[in-house]
Chain A
Amino acid sequence: MTTTEDRPAPAPAPGGTRGPAALLPRTRARGVVRANRVVLALLGLLLAAAGAAALAVVLGLFGPGLPDRPVLDAPVGRFVDASPWFWPVVGVAGALLALLCLWWLLVQARSDRVARLPLSRDPRRGDTELDAAALTGAVEDEVEGYRGVTRARAGLSGAGTAPLLTLTVTLDGRVDAGALHTRVVDGAIAHARQALGRPDLPARVELVLPRRARRDVR
């Protein structure tokens, strides 16, 4: 037996309802994501165009006799033999391809992670900086101490002068996620703001409930 019931969506909560209802997953390198998308789309376009052109030759759209001629025809060979610049140009194209691919490979490691935060700058006494790991480690320790949390990972991204605190909290499913959200904001994030002297430090918190939630007793 199977029964199906539909429950209408409840009315939205009164506070904090402005803004989008859903966001794209967070990334540490928005530029890299965009670059990958553009390069792969261009590559797809190139492959599709090559395939379509080859099929057009097969269908005789470029001439009735062409489908029966070899893919690497004699005129092509004669053109290559008669053009002394051909192979050097191929070599340069190969070098350009290698350089572009090297750049593409290297940008995959790019991230907007902030490693140090400037706390004060004084020309006479010197600059004071805070190691970001000290702050994020403290935030992780505090959140991992909350009941219902199995793991917390914090990071600072953006610019050193305008950082964004990112926090991924893995839940065990025992505690109401809404209540935990309030506790994280009022506790760990408030403490991080206090430590940095930035009461308006923006934060993005990601709550995660894994498929097989660990149920450690705290």
Chain B
Amino acid sequence: MRAVDRVLAVLLAAAGLVLGVLVVVEVVAAAVDRGPVALPYGPVAAWLRGTPWSAGAAVAVAVGLLVLGLLLLLAELAPRRRTDLVLTGTDPAVTTTLSTRSLGRLLEVAATATPGVERAAARARARRARLSVHVPLRDAGEVARVGREAQANATAALEELQLRRTPRLRVRTRQETR
């Protein structure tokens, strides 16, 4: 959200800067009896004079403003998610973190290192992590064994990290016969 905010800020600030300058230019131009320089305010004013509040276009603009404003407001007021998991360490002056995204990849790497696992997909949060392991075998018993092995590898990788709070790992094994 922080990066989205930054992009929005740059775009809106640039747009506001241009609009503000154009308004000043148009006001000065109108004061010296020169027509519109860059902003076509004549047609806009004519449309506003000819459109009642109950017209479909006016209602659509009102609904659009309300929805856009509420979305922006809710997005900015929602508490930011803490996505950097802290590793335990002996030096109190050093804080080492690993993002939940990187943790997901770490679990995927640990699971796919297991013989028999074709691919793995993980999604991690601060409190829980989900790992989906895909095993392309026909024998159900063998699939379960590979799944347990992949889970053991992922759990070991998770424990080796020594996070301050280790997320609860949930592993799902999927049998994919070709």
Q: Which residues of A contact B (CB under 8 A)?
A: 1-10, 12-13, 15-17, 19-27, 32-33, 36-37, 39-41, 43-52, 54-55, 57-58, 66-72, 77, 87-88, 90-91, 93-102, 104-105, 108, 171, 173, 176-179, 181-182, 184-185, 189, 200-211, 213
Contact = CB atoms under 8 A, between A and B. Distances in A.
Nearest to B169: A7
A70 B52 contact: yes
B17 A7 contact: no
Interface string B37-66: 000000001001111111000110111111
21 contacts: A5-B148, A12-B164, A20-B86, A21-B86, A23-B97, A26-B84, A27-B2, A37-B5, A40-B72, A47-B66, A47-B72, A49-B69, A72-B48, A72-B49, A91-B24, A101-B15, A105-B17, A178-B87, A202-B93, A205-B95, A207-B97
B176 to A, nearest CB: 9
B146 to A, nearest CB: 11
A178 B106 CA distance: 12
Contact of A33 (B2, B13, B17, B174): B2
Contacts of A209: 98, 102-103, 105-106, 109
Given A17-B164, A26-B84, A54-B53, A7 B171 contact: yes
A19 B21 CA distance: 49
A207 B96 contact: yes
Interface residues of B, number: 100
A203 B94 contact: yes
B48 A44 contact: no
Interface string B121-137: 00000100000000000
A104 B13 CA distance: 6
Contacts of A16: 88-90, 92, 164
Contacts of B167: 9
A194 B7 CA distance: 39
